[in-house]
Structure 1
Amino acid sequence: MAIKPGRLGIGIIGAGKVGAVLGAALRGAGHAVVGVSAVSEESRERAELLLPGVPVLDVADIVERSELVLLAVPDDALSDLVAGLGAVGAWQDGQLVAHTSGRFGTAVLAPVKAAGGIPLALHPAMTFTGMSLDLTRLVDCSVGVSAEPAMLPIAQALVVEMGAEPVVIAEADRVLYHAALAHSANHMVTLVAQAGQILADIGVESSGQVLGPLLRAALENALTTGEAALTGPVARGDAGTVAAHASALREYALDTSSADVLDAYLAMSASTAARAAKRRMLSAEAYLGIQAALMPDDEADTGVAGS
């Protein structure tokens, strides 16, 4: 990087799964972690595991002692925390302040800038466990960075020091960026859990063993070739199979009170069909057939659109 920060005294506010891991990564890069805030017993144990010897301090002391403050708190708590510290004059001239929220850019750190500090946004595109194995996963992980142009190299250098890859996200695009990540990773977990639930309910004991090879191959193919990797009955226009799936899942929803599984299948099938049709992977006739297959029988018979 063109600019590389020197050895910094770093304070971690929030010893959650993200804060403790990033603190350990920065410590491993040669920076000194001068303090960490940890309220719950779980966060104190995590701090002890990943940041041994680092004192647990209150937030005001951490801000006072730190050249770089890392704010690793929930999104909804970030604005009030930053504003509250600004109201008591805690932020310092020349101090680096970085948050780990995907949703926000640097505008949420306006009180830091008003005090002469340097606001940075660093969001790792990774799911954290809060354990040491996350340090290995950080290598080659992408981190969405936002900062003013003159300060962007500092944010990028910090990410590189952690072993990750900086990806510049415009301030105005932060919410869409975060929505894309949440839509993929979080919803994938829900889909896998729903599929595993169905398999378990029909007596398949090792659902992970059944789903693992399929899902790993599908993910790898999708990352490599995009929507060209799409297979299955929707992509083939196999309306009969889709209708059978929908009917079976309606009965399953009634038997198990698992309407969320049915809702997810119908929504994802409709979305998949629409994208396939738009890319001419499905003919117009096949697309209409899939739409009809997703309707309840009584609505399909009368031509009334439904879910």
Structure 2
Amino acid sequence: MDEPHELRAAARTLPEPQDLRVGFIGAGRLARALSLALQVAGVPVVRVASRSQASARALADALPDCRVGTLQAVARDCDLVFLTSPDALIAEIACAVPWRMGQSVVHCSGATPVAALQPAAAAGAWIGGFHPLQAFGADPRAALASLPGCTVAIEAEPPLDDLLHALTRRLGCVGLTLPPGARARYHASGGYASQHIHVLLAEAVRLWQSWGATEQQALDALLPLLRGTLESLAHSGVAAGMPGPVSRGDAGTVRLHRQALQAVDPDMRDLYDRLCRRGVDLARQAGRLDAAGAVGVEQVLDASPEPGAP
């Protein structure tokens, strides 16, 4: 074991959350929300650095004891540094900053491996990942309000993992210990509950627009449906609460859907087919679709698409 790691291993304790001096490298939406939340929780944020001086100044001005500085100043003055920069810059920043023995360096990327921070570890710092599973908007106060209750994925070795879990509890969030090698899968899972929902709703909006309706009209009708779906998911789980023609083996309705979608856009119909096939498996898993019903739906999906009125 090299000397920095031996010295770091000898110091098995880190400051308590309220005794930390926290800094941020990167001043975007997540940094603004997280820094405000830490301040409210009694954890002082004292330094921020960013490529955008305007963003850094906006973050610092919202906090009583925070000052804008260089990367080097953040590393010098802070016990815990959050890297909230774009993912592509994390490894570059880790190489460029003069880290010091015993401090903690944590990135907030969902997918980037913690190993991207290896230069900090080589200097004797503790390294880890801290990713709130939440989408943050442009309004920092609204983003702050959305943070409590969300899950934070934590990947670190002791004692840093204990510190990050303690911070998570102070923020009113739920800590998730993420094993090494699972970050990309974990982050991709979030895409299905966030990014891909936008894609699916965009497809639905296109269908409304095909008869002259507006996006707002579509959203006014579809968002209450989505909210009801989320309530059903919360109470019944993923498989048992799934609605729709596939779940009840209604092959005739699936056929009509395919005809209509084929007329609007064959690629849209292809996506529908793929989702329906996954839906058959899900309905079978829940015991809501018997073998005969599954075969009926699959036969419709296997058939060549028929032309229909848009």
Shorter-normalised TM range: 0.7 to 0.9
Q: Percent of counterpart pairs with the same letter?
A: 31
Equivalent residue for 1:276?
283
Question: Residues 63 and 69 of structure 1 are in contact (CA less than 8 Å); yes or no, is this contact kept in structure 2?
Answer: yes
- How many angstroms does 1:187 deviate by? 0.7
Structure 1, unaligned stretches of length 5 or more?
300-307
Q: Would you say 1:141 and 2:150 are equivalent positions?
A: yes
Structure 2, unaligned stretches of length 5 or more?
1-14
- How many angstroms does 1:13 deviate by? 0.8
Counterpart CA distance in 2 for 1:203 and 1:42 is 43
Equivalent residue for 1:76?
88
For residues 137 and 49 of structure 1, do their structure 2 counterparts lie closer, same or farther at Cα, with a shift above 3 Å needed?
farther
For residues 38 and 114 of structure 1, do their structure 2 counterparts lie closer, same or farther at Cα, with a shift above 3 Å needed?
closer
**Residue by residue, what CA displacement relative to the aligned partner does 1:250-307 show, whole Å, maximum 9, x if unpaired?**
11116xxxx3x334322211111122234443222322222232245369xxxxxxxx
Question: Residues 12 and 20 of structure 1 are in contact (CA less than 8 Å); yes or no, is this contact kept in structure 2?
Answer: no
Question: Residues 68 and 96 of structure 1 are in contact (CA less than 8 Å); yes or no, is this contact kept in structure 2?
Answer: yes
Equivalent residue for 1:264?
271
Equivalent residue for 1:225?
236
CA RMSD, aligned part only?
2.4
Paired residues, number = 288
Equivalent residue for 1:121?
129
Q: Would you say 1:18 and 2:25 are equivalent positions?
A: no
- How many angstroms does 1:124 deviate by? 0.4
Equivalent residue for 1:168?
177
Equivalent residue for 1:102?
110
Counterpart CA distance in 2 for 1:84 and 1:133 is 33
Equivalent residue for 2:77?
65
Q: Would you say 1:156 and 2:158 are equivalent positions?
A: no
Q: Would you say 1:34 and 2:46 are equivalent positions?
A: yes
For 1:216, the aligned partner's letter is R
**Residue by residue, what CA displacement relative to the aligned partner does 1:13-63 show, whole Å, maximum 9, x if unpaired?**
111111121111112222332222233477357536744774333322222
Equivalent residue for 2:259?
247
**Residue by residue, what CA displacement relative to the aligned partner does 1:96-133 show, whole Å, maximum 9, x if unpaired?**
11111112453332222221211121110101113211
Q: Mean alpha-carbon deviation: is it higher for 170-179 or for 116-125? A: 170-179
TM-score normalised to the size of structure 1?
0.84
Equivalent residue for 1:185?
194
For 1:101, the aligned partner's letter is S
Counterpart CA distance in 2 for 1:53 and 1:9 is 10
Question: Residues 79 and 108 of structure 1 are in contact (CA less than 8 Å); yes or no, is this contact kept in structure 2?
Answer: yes
SS state at 1:297 partner: coil
For 1:210, the aligned partner's letter is A
Equivalent residue for 2:222?
211
Counterpart CA distance in 2 for 1:179 and 1:108 is 19
For residues 252 and 28 of structure 1, do their structure 2 counterparts lie closer, same or farther at Cα, with a shift above 3 Å needed?
same
Question: Residues 111 and 184 of structure 2 are in contact (CA less than 8 Å); yes or no, is this contact kept in structure 1?
Answer: yes
Counterpart CA distance in 1 for 2:283 and 2:58 is 45
Equivalent residue for 1:302?
none
Counterpart CA distance in 2 for 1:49 and 1:248 is 54
For residues 165 and 4 of structure 1, do their structure 2 counterparts lie closer, same or farther at Cα, with a shift above 3 Å needed?
farther
Counterpart CA distance in 2 for 1:35 and 1:198 is 49
Counterpart CA distance in 2 for 1:224 and 1:49 is 43
For 1:124, the aligned partner's letter is P
Counterpart CA distance in 1 for 2:133 and 2:246 is 30
